């Protein structure tokens, strides 16, 4: 079979059968003999000093095997980059849900009962619940000992920040911004805000930790096991080699599974009891105490010339990082890059300031395209407002400003990626942008671009005598189809049936792997799979796979191991067009239909790709219309998935996806990443459509009926 024929055919998912029959074993399902269950005592205050912890009654409860408090792990802090989050708090708690004690018991019910018997005395401290308050000159400093915190970066230290309540801060510019603003024909300024939202994977976090001789064995839902191993080694003061991290089947991620918080104290509980100890996060705790997408407040200022061409741009973005920066893996401790307003446009001069801020709220983390949905909602709404002021259609303003190959983009880097004008034009045609509007209906556009990830990974192949090929990789499959992608690239390259290619994930005993995240797997692991298959091909010396297999003697295998480094800059892109109807009397928004014109390069898993694009759209629709992980006085109110309003299938309109994809991507066979491409643009497209339909401009997500109703009445 021709290799590209295989890639064009719908895939058979490697994990499909086990998941649909219920045979798949998730971390919470794993049968580890003698495992105890853990539960945690949590702070009810957003900021308080711990006066005393009395565990006496909990310790004597039948079935309780160990009770640990902050005093037992004093000084230990966890985190993906900056380790600022106490394993258990010993002197202060910094948000509602912060942990002060842990119990291991024979059952979860006993562990939870023991937690209720732990008496903690708190002295409440003034809470910083607002980013602006936290950045005042006289604001109390939430982390006075920050200088002593471990920063997991071999090459350097934590970048300096202007205020002690900053987690991360960046100020960067390109071009002569002041001169460009001075020459602008028009200057526009707008402000936008977005709330926290939750990743909401089906499977909550879970982990089991046990000691085996000198080894610490960990099975975790973490999607980057090597990173968790390194974090644990640093926090617990253990040699990396002593810790082995493995995964069960992972039931969804969306960024949530990058942060682990339980494994550290589970180690201590396992040590104290001599038993394996398991923690499975209750969904209420997932919603209220883990690492949701940061809320934001973004101010934009843009200068345009007389023809509506952008000449200067300025962004000031504040992201509420909550009590700890531990959830962010980036060196600058921003939500990924932090700077992504007007991505995909030609911006000759720009100045960006972005910061993440410590407050006494639930700690923020990474979520599908971190930072982009906030910035794209702001800048794509901003563009529509500018267009209307200039008397241009929103589409025309975008056409005049999209980046073409080599143009300076908002960060000053030259544009590498698809033809954005063509995508916008196609979306406009498909939605019927030129047709006369019905009263109460409107169309909104947004442009979304997303970098193709970079990095390196190792993949090994072994051809056995029976003609099967085993792929060994350190990367998991959290539901995104990663293993199927690797299998198909190997099969297509070697011209064999994908069913003869088995993918085996190794624990951290195998070669290091960066794990899932940052739109990385398709270019990096896909690239490694291609390189490994090509290396094996070479070893075949012109023979077919079957012939080479037959030539092997019993127990012998033909092996290659390839480390691949993906370095090229590239982007996927998506033009969104959404039609809505607005009920002017109630403000109710109905999304009638949507079009996505996308360029993601060559598809490797065509069915999975469609799932990523449709799923990304629905994910964005939730952020656009219903999702709001609101806190009141520091506590997340929606403690269940009935109150936290994810979109349901009834909320999803007919969706048309048009591919302008080609094989120009920098990934294997011309592929680009797809998983984080679509969701960022949806909220702005909805808000822009609402404006088009009704004249109501909503500057805050989600676009609720109430906000539309108020915007229509200027209240």
Q: Provide the binding-site residues for another protein, judged by CB under 8 A.
A: 44, 96, 109, 284, 585-588, 625-626, 630, 632-633, 635, 637-640, 642-643, 645, 647-648, 650-651, 704-706, 709-710
Decide whether 279 or 631 has the Cβ nearer to another protein. Answer: 631
Q: What is the DSSP string of 224-260?
A: -HHHHHHHHHHHHT--GGGEEEE--B----TTGGG--
Give the residue carrying structure tokens 């446009």. 345
Rounded Cα distance between 91 and 396, Å, is: 58
Decide whether 521 or 594 has the Cβ nearer to another protein. Answer: 594
Helix (H) or strand (E) holding 687: helix 682-694
Give min distance, CB of 441 to another protein, in A.
18
Decide whether 86 or 647 has the Cβ nearer to another protein. Answer: 647
Give min distance, CB of 113 to another protein, in A.
9
Report H helices in 503-594. 521-540, 545-550
Decide whether 2 or 632 has the Cβ nearer to another protein. Answer: 632
Instruction: Give 125's Cβ-side CA count (13 Å radius).
Output: 20
Token pair, residue 661, equals 């994809």
Residues in CB range of 414: below 8 A, 6 or more apart: 405, 406, 407, 408
Decide whether 516 or 591 has the Cβ nearer to another protein. Answer: 591
**Would you say 428 and 377 are in contact if contact means Cβ atoms under 8 Å apart?**
no
Rounded Cα distance between 417 and 658, Å, is: 17
Measure Cα distances from 523 to 14, 475, 493, 515, 580 in Å. 20, 13, 15, 13, 36
Measure Cα distances from 343 to 18, 167, 168, 335, 568 in Å. 40, 24, 21, 15, 18
Decide whether 456 or 700 has the Cβ nearer to another protein. Answer: 700
Decide whether 24 or 284 has the Cβ nearer to another protein. Answer: 284
Closest CA to 397 of 388, 405, 406: 388
User: What is the greatest pairwise CA distance in the chain?
Assistant: 81
Give min distance, CB of 703 to another protein, in A.
12
Give min distance, CB of 288 to another protein, in A.
9
Decide whether 107 or 438 has the Cβ nearer to another protein. Answer: 107
**Would you say 287 and 258 are in contact if contact means Cβ atoms under 8 Å apart?**
no
Closest CA to 227 of 334, 415, 78, 12: 78
Rounded Cα distance between 547 and 35, Å, is: 48
Rounded Cα distance between 234 and 139, Å, is: 31
Rounded Cα distance between 523 and 669, Å, is: 10
Decide whether 323 or 521 has the Cβ nearer to another protein. Answer: 323
Look at the chain and count its residues: 715
Instruction: Give 130's Cβ-side CA count (13 Å radius).
Output: 4
**Would you say 400 and 307 are in contact if contact means Cβ atoms under 8 Å apart?**
yes
Helix (H) or strand (E) holding 266: helix 263-273
Decide whether 251 or 647 has the Cβ nearer to another protein. Answer: 647
Token pair, residue 696, equals 């109501």
Rounded Cα distance between 87 and 38, Å, is: 14
Decide whether 284 or 392 has the Cβ nearer to another protein. Answer: 284
Rounded Cα distance between 368 and 256, Å, is: 9
Decide whether 289 or 372 has the Cβ nearer to another protein. Answer: 289
Give min distance, CB of 110 to another protein, in A.
11
Strand order in the sheet with 64-69: 64-69, 99-105, 36-42, 277-280, 206-212, 215-220, 243-246
Phi, psi (rounded to 5 degrees) for 66: -160, 145
Give min distance, CB of 39 to another protein, in A.
13
Give min distance, CB of 109 to another protein, in A.
7
Give min distance, CB of 694 to another protein, in A.
15
Decide whether 43 or 473 has the Cβ nearer to another protein. Answer: 43
Measure Cα distances from 561 to 404, 420, 619 in Å. 39, 38, 37
Decide whether 113 or 380 has the Cβ nearer to another protein. Answer: 113
* DSSP classification of residue 438: P
Decide whether 256 or 708 has the Cβ nearer to another protein. Answer: 708
Decide whether 17 or 706 has the Cβ nearer to another protein. Answer: 706
Rounded Cα distance between 368 and 291, Å, is: 12
């Amino acid at each position: 079979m021709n290799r590209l024929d295989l890639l064009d055919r719908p895939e058979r998912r490697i994990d499909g059968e086990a998941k649909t029959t219920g045979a798949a074993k998730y971390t919470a399902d794993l049968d580890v003999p003698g495992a105890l269950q853990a539960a945690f005592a949590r702070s009810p205050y957003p900021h308080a000093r711990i006066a005393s912890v009395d565990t006496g009654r909990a310790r004597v409860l039948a079935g309780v095997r160990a009770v640990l408090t902050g005093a037992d792990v004093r000084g230990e802090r966890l985190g993906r980059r900056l380790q600022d989050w106490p394993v258990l708090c010993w002197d202060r708690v910094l948000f509602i849900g912060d942990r002060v004690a842990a119990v291991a018991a024979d059952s979860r019910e006993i562990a939870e009962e023991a937690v209720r018997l732990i008496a903690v005395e708190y002295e409440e401290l003034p809470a910083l619940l607002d980013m602006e308050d936290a950045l005042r000159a006289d604001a109390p400093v939430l982390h006075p000992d920050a200088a002593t915190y471990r920063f997991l970066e071999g090459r350097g230290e934590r970048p300096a920040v202007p205020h002690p309540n900053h987690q991360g801060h960046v100020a960067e510019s390109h071009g002569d911004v002041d001169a460009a603003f001075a020459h602008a024909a028009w200057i526009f300024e707008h402000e936008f805000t977005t709330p926290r939202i939750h990743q909401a994977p089906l499977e909550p976090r879970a982990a089991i930790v046990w000691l085996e001789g000198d080894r610490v064995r960990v099975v975790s839902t973490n999607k980057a096991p090597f990173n968790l191993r390194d974090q644990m080694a640093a926090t617990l003061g253990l040699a990396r080699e002593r810790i082995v991290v493995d995964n069960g089947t992972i039931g969804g991620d969306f960024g949530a599974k990058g942060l682990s918080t339980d494994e550290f104290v589970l180690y201590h509980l396992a040590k104290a009891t001599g038993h394996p100890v398991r923690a499975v996060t209750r969904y209420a705790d997932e919603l209220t105490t883990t690492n949701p997408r940061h809320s934001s407040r973004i101010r934009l200022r843009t200068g345009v010339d007389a023809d509506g061409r952008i000449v200067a741009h300025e962004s000031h973005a504040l992201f509420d990082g909550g009590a700890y920066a531990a959830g962010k893996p980036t060196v600058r401790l921003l939500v990924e890059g932090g700077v992504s307003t007007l991505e995909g446009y030609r911006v000759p001069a720009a100045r960006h300031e972005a910061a993440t801020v410590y407050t006494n709220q639930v700690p923020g983390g990474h979520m599908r395209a971190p930072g982009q949905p906030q910035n794209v909602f702001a800048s794509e709404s901003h563009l529509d407002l500018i267009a209307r002021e200039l008397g241009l259609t929103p589409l025309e303003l975008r056409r005049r400003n999209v980046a073409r190959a080599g143009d300076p983009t908002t960060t000053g880097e030259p544009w590498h990626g698809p033809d954005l004008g063509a995508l916008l034009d196609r979306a406009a045609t498909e939605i019927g942008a030129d047709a006369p509007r019905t009263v109460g209906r409107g169309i909104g556009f947004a442009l979304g671009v997303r970098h193709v990830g970079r990095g390196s990974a190792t993949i090994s192949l072994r051809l056995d005598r029976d003609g099967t090929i085993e792929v060994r990789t350190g990367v998991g499959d959290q539901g995104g189809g990663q293993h199927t992608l690797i299998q198909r690239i190997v099969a297509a390259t070697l011209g064999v049936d994908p069913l003869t290619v088995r993918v085996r994930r190794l624990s951290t005993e195998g070669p290091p792997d960066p794990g899932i995240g940052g739109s990385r797997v398709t270019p990096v692991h896909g690239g490694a799979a291609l390189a490994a298959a090509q290396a094996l091909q070479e070893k075949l010396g012109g023979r077919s796979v079957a012939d080479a297999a037959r030539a092997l003697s019993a127990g012998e295998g033909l092996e290659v191991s390839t480390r691949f480094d993906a370095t090229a800059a590239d982007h996927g892109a998506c033009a969104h067009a959404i039609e809505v109807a607005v009920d002017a009397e109630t403000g109710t928004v109905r999304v009638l239909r949507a079009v996505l014109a996308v360029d993601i390069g060559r598809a490797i898993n065509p069915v999975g790709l469609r799932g990523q694009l449709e799923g990304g759209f629905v994910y964005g629709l939730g952020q656009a219309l219903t999702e709001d992980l609101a806190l009141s006085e520091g506590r997340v109110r929606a403690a269940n998935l009935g109150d936290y309003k994810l979109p349901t299938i009834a909320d999803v309109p007919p969706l048309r996806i048009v591919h302008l994809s080609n094989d120009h991507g920098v990934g294997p066979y011309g592929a680009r990443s797809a998983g984080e491409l679509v969701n960022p643009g949806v909220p702005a497209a909805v808000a822009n459509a609402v404006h088009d339909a009704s004249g109501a401009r909503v500057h805050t997500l989600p676009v609720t009926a109430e906000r539309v109703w108020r915007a229509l009445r200027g209240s």
